[in-house]
Amino acid sequence: MAACLGLQIIVAALLLKFPFVSEALSFLNKGVVLIQSVTDRASQFLFGYLSGGATPFEVAAPENNFIIVFRVLPLIVVVSALSAVLFHWRIIPLIVNFLGRALQRFLRLSGDLSLGSAATVFFGTIEAPILVRTYLTTMSRADLFALISCSMATVSGTVMVLYSSVLESVMPNPLTHLLLASIISVPAALLLARVLIPGEDDIRHQNQTSSLKSPYSGTLDALTRGTQEGMSMLLGIIGSILVFFALIYLVNEGLSLLRPTLSVEGILGTVLRPLLWLTGISWEDSLIAARLMGTKIVLNEFVAYMELAKNTETLSGHSNLILTYALCGFANLGSVGIIVGGLSSIIPERRVELASLTLLSLLSGNLAALMTAAVVNCFV
C-alpha cells in the first residue's frame, strides 16, 4: 500500500513538473481516439445523424445532440471484437506477462490486473475489463475489485475531448489536466481497493497466463464471437442504465415532496463538503464544489463539468483546477449499471459478487479522485 501511495506522488511529480512526460503519453491517447473515430464513422453509416453525422435539418440546441446510446456504447462492441482477435493472436497474453513481471517487485500485481488497470487510463468502465475478459473468471475477488475501482477512478480517452470542450472556459488546456487526472488516480485506486478488500501478494497465476489457450478456432471466429459478446453486453448496459436513472429520478421525486429543493445529489453535497475542503478548495468554495461532486456521483461527471463551466466565475481559479481533478472519474450510479450489466454477460457465475463489488467501488473510485485532487494541490 505504501508503494501505491509513493507511486501516486512520483507520477504526479513527473507529470506536473515535467510536461514532456505527459505530452509523450498523449500519443497513446491518440490511438484510442483513432479507434473511436473509425467507430463513429461506422455508427454514422448505420444511424446517421444520431451518431454525430450531418443532420438534414438545423439543430436548435447542439448541446443536446450527444446521444449516449449511439455515440458512446458502439465502442464497446468494437473493443470487444478487437480484444478477442488480439487475444487469439497472443498479443494480449504477451502484454499481460510483460506488465506482470514489470510490476511484480514494485506493486506485486498480477499481469492481468496490471494490464486492466493501465487500460483504464484510456478505455472506459467496461472496455478496459474486456481487454482481460479471459482472465475475469479466475481473477481473485480482491483483484477484480481493484480493476473495477481503477475503471471508476478514471475517465476514458474517448470522452476526454468531449469534456475538455466543456472546460475550455474554465482553464487553459483542459485535455492535459484530464489525462493527468486519470493517470494519477490509478495508483490511488489500487491503494484504496487493497484497503477495502485486502488481497494476498499472490502472483502465482502470473505464470499461468502464458499457458492459456485461445478459445477461438481462427481470427474470423474470434472477430465474430467477440462481436456477439459485445452486443450482449450492450443490451445489458442499456437496460441497467435505464433502470438506475429511473430509480434516481423516482427517489428525487419523493424527496421533493418533503422539500422542493431536496435531492439525492444535494444531500451528498452537504456530506461531502469537508472532503472537498481537504483537497485544497477554500471553505467558501467547498459548498458549491461538494454539490457538483454530488451531481457527479448521482448523475455523471459530464453533467457536473457542464455545471462547473456555468459556475466558473463563482469559484476561484485554484478551486476550478482542483475540482476538475476531483470530478475526473466514472464513479457514478450510472457506471454501476454499466459494469454490472456488461460484465455479468461475460462472467454470469459472478453476477452477485459483481453487484456488491461495483457498489463498493463507488466509494473507492471517488476517494481515489479526491486523493488525486489533494496530491495535485500540493504541487500547484
Domain ranges of the chain: 2-379
Render pLDDT for 314-335 as a digit per residue (tens, 0 to 9). Answer: 899 899 999 999 999 999 988 9
Give the Cα separation of 352 and 322 in Å (integer). Answer: 36
Task: Decide if pLDDT at 151 tops 90.
Answer: yes
Pick 158 or 191 by higher pLDDT.
191
DSSP state of 215: S
Give the Cα separation of 29 and 27 in Å (integer). Answer: 5
Residue 204 has what pLDDT? 45
Determine the average pLDDT of the residues in 139-148: 93
Task: Decide if pLDDT at 352 tops 80.
Answer: yes
Please enumerate, as own/partner, the contacts of 350-353 that have beta carbons within 8 Å and a separation of 24 or more.
350/136, 350/137, 350/144, 353/141, 353/144
Give the Cα separation of 155 and 124 in Å (integer). Answer: 6
Give the Cα separation of 196 and 363 in Å (integer). Answer: 9
Task: Decide if pLDDT at 5 tops 50.
Answer: yes
Determine the average pLDDT of the residues in 259-276: 89
Predicted confidence band of residue 15 (pLDDT cuts 50, 70, 90): confident
Residue 197 has what pLDDT? 93
Task: Decide if pLDDT at 97 tops 90.
Answer: no
Determine the average pLDDT of the residues in 166-173: 82
Query: Which residues lie closer than 8 Å to 234 by C-beta, 6 or more apart?
Result: 73, 74, 76, 77
If phi over 0 gives left and psi between -120 and 50 gives alpha, with beta otherwise, what is residue 90? left
Check the CA dihedral 99-103-211-348 and report its sign: negative
Task: Decide if pLDDT at 299 tops 60.
Answer: yes
3-class DSSP assignment, residue 49: helix
